[in-house]
Amino acid sequence: MTASPNPAVKLRSGSQMLIDALRRNGVEHVFGYPGGAIMPLYDALVGSGLQHYLCRHEQGAALAADAYGRSTRKAGVCMATSGPGATNLVTGIANAFMDSVPMVVITGQVPTALLGTDAFQEVDIFGITLPIVKHSYIVRDIATIPHLVDEAFQLAQGGRPGPVLIDFPKDISTAMGAEPDYQPLPPAEFTLPDTKAIKTASEVLGQARRPLVIAGGGITISDSVQAFREFAAHTGVPVTATLKGLGVMPTDDDCFVGMLGMHGNGAANHAVQNCDVLVVVGARFDDRATGQLAQFAPSARVIHLDIDPAEISKLRRAEVAVIGDLATALDGIRPGTAGRASWRAQCAAWKKEFAWRYDAPGKGIYAPKLLRDLSRLSPGDLTITCDVGQHQMWVAQHCKFDDPLDHLSSGGLGTMGYGLPAAIGVKIAKPEATVVCVSGDGSIMMNIQELATIKRYDLEVKIILLDNSALGLVRQWQELFFNENYSEVDLSDNPDFALVAEAFGIPSRSISKPGEVAAALDWLLSAEGPALLHVSINPRENVWPLVAPGNPNHKMMQANSAKKR
């Protein structure tokens, strides 16, 4: 765009127009890392009113934006320069895509005249990210910026949310022009479910003798938690949850039978295998939830509720498909017969039979009990962010969640290194919350540099580091399925994590005995500012139960059965 000859017209750079568009879309916080191609945008950030958080690695910025988006249900925003800056964002973009998290990603790019010339720090980030975004843009004219940014946020937050990429060439970011006439986008279309499908779902559920509900992450994403709880209360149908569905029903609710799947509770897995009607709400039949798909809920008729028609019958044929807004669908499904009393009694009996035990033998700290105690000692505003590994499964199994936004975990991608930057994103989104990152000695090393971010902004993030001197979950699989051939899982040369935290200016404490747990948790939760609790645990401790690959969910390995192998 050429400059206006009219001196009365105020000229704006492309970068200033982009900042204006971000503010108009309600953006207050941005996560990123500067560099050459995106420097003009960082120049425009100064005095813009946007709060930028300098993460110490672009992946940390993307994962912090992911957690911010989960916590607020508004698109988290991250930005980085071209080349390695952009490619370092890719894992965070994929993480958001797999878990349907709203996010807008802004990457600097070389000038348009150099595109395709292998210029310094040029990569085709548009092409690289095509499979892991809802949509991508390359800005080619500053006049398009207001509409383009509005559309990016609408796409990121609408329907099934996800990440949207805006690639911003340097010459466009510095180009000057008159502010374009702003034309707001019409509201996004609201997809309402078909009334006939709702009626059929009511009829099928009403005929059930052993109905069961699987609560998935889509309930939280669509802000349908209250509608779901009212549906569960009205029908009396027992509820299981996926990893991302935890907290949709309070953990201690009588209707809740636990998390299902590979490391699910025995009650949930037996309920799934014995139900005759399965109502799947905002879940996608992930392999970690279903076990051997051909034997998953073998006698059940499936009612599938989801906003995304691509998920319907993708893996398991749905007898009834209700596509559209979940809250509307849940409000409309009113079966003539509520959940059967005898079936509810059976589910309650399984809950009692498979209740978690915390009397583990041994002299060391038992991580499940520590995490159970954490979630019950903490105030009601506790939010836990997880890394990936054994500790992630222990959190899912043993922590109490009354709200799904109190539990942030990398589900579909399983991203090690998620927990620490996620805690940053949550704390910025919910400054009054008590935010605890539960990590492992393998995972924390993936993004340990973000301790500097926590210290710089004095974020009151609490860290529990469970240290078993190993890549625990990989070691467990090598023990059980690879004849104890332990390949590259030994982390016995870990640094002294307490000293590492102190070097970053974060107070720390180390414990290794059960009698130290109560005082240490009290210290951690009452500490002013950030703090790290380093917990040494048994390197041979495993996560139980476990559904082995190729097995149906009800054939769960337990500690005793594994020893017999």
Using CB atoms within 10 Å of the CB of residue 131, give its burial: 0 to 12 exposed, 13 to 18 middle, 19+ buried.
Answer: exposed
Same domain? 204 vs 304: yes
Please state, in angstroms and rounded to a whole number, the distance separating the CA atoms of residues 409 and 246.
10
pLDDT for res 535:
98
Sorting pLDDT into bands at 50, 70 and 90, what band is 9?
Answer: low
Same domain? 257 vs 400: no
429 DSSP assignment: H
Sorting pLDDT into bands at 50, 70 and 90, what band is 361?
Answer: confident
Same domain? 25 vs 142: yes
Domain boundary among 325, 353, 381: 353
What is the percentage of the chain residues whose pLDDT exceeds 90?
A: 92
Mean pLDDT across the chain, nearest whole number?
95
Q: CATH number of the domain at 485, please.
A: 3.40.50.970
Distance (Å) of CA 24 to CA 106, 138, 147, 149: 16, 20, 11, 10
Q: CATH number of the domain at 312, please.
A: 3.40.50.1220
For residues 167 and 136, the answer to whether their CB atoms sit within 8 Å is yes
Residue 125 lies in a domain: yes
pLDDT for res 531:
98
Residue 118 lies in a domain: yes
Residue 565 in this model has a pLDDT that exceeds 50: no
DSSP three-state, residue 529: coil
Kindly report the number of other CB atoms within 10 A of residue 272's CB atom. Answer: 26
- Segments forming the whole domain that contains residue 112: 11-178
Chain CA centroid to CA 303, Å:
25
* Each residue's pLDDT tens digit, 412-466: 999 999 999 999 999 999 999 999 999 999 999 999 999 999 999 999 999 999 9
> What are the φ/ψ torsions at residue 239 (nearest 5 degrees)?
-125, 130
Q: Which residues of 67-91 are buried (b: 16+ CB within 10 A; e: fewer)?
A: bbbbbbbbbbbbbbbbbebbbbbbb
Beta bridge partners of 461: 435
| DSSP for 358-427, written as a single string | ----SSSB-HHHHHHHHHHHS-TTEEEEE-SSHHHHHHHHHS--SSGGGEE---SS--TT-HHHHHHHHH
Sorting pLDDT into bands at 50, 70 and 90, what band is 179?
Answer: confident
How many folded domains does the chain comprise? 3
Residue 174 lies in a domain: yes
Same domain? 69 vs 162: yes
Residue 564 in this model has a pLDDT that exceeds 70: no
Same domain? 407 vs 322: no
pLDDT for res 338:
60
Same domain? 447 vs 541: yes
Average pLDDT over residues 53-72: 98
Same domain? 143 vs 211: no
* Each residue's pLDDT tens digit, 68-97: 999 999 999 999 999 999 999 999 999 999
Residue 188 lies in a domain: no
Residue 4 in this model has a pLDDT that exceeds 90: no
Domain boundary among 324, 353, 382: 353
Same domain? 267 vs 311: yes
For residues 36 and 108, the answer to whether their CB atoms sit within 8 Å is yes
DSSP three-state, residue 167: strand
Same domain? 543 vs 477: yes
Residue 359 lies in a domain: no
Same domain? 434 vs 345: no
Same domain? 334 vs 442: no
Same domain? 375 vs 511: yes
DSSP three-state, residue 109: strand
Residue 472 in this model has a pLDDT that exceeds 90: yes
Domain boundary among 331, 353, 375: 353
Residues 6+ apart with CB under 8 A from 173: 13, 14, 15, 18, 38, 40, 41, 108
Residue 58 lies in a domain: yes
Residues 6+ apart with CB under 8 A from 471: 389, 442, 488, 489, 491
* Each residue's pLDDT tens digit, 115-144: 999 999 999 999 999 999 999 999 999 999
Determine which of 179-193, 243-257, 502-516, 535-549 has the lowest per-residue pLDDT on average: 179-193
Residue 187 lies in a domain: no
Residue 3 lies in a domain: no
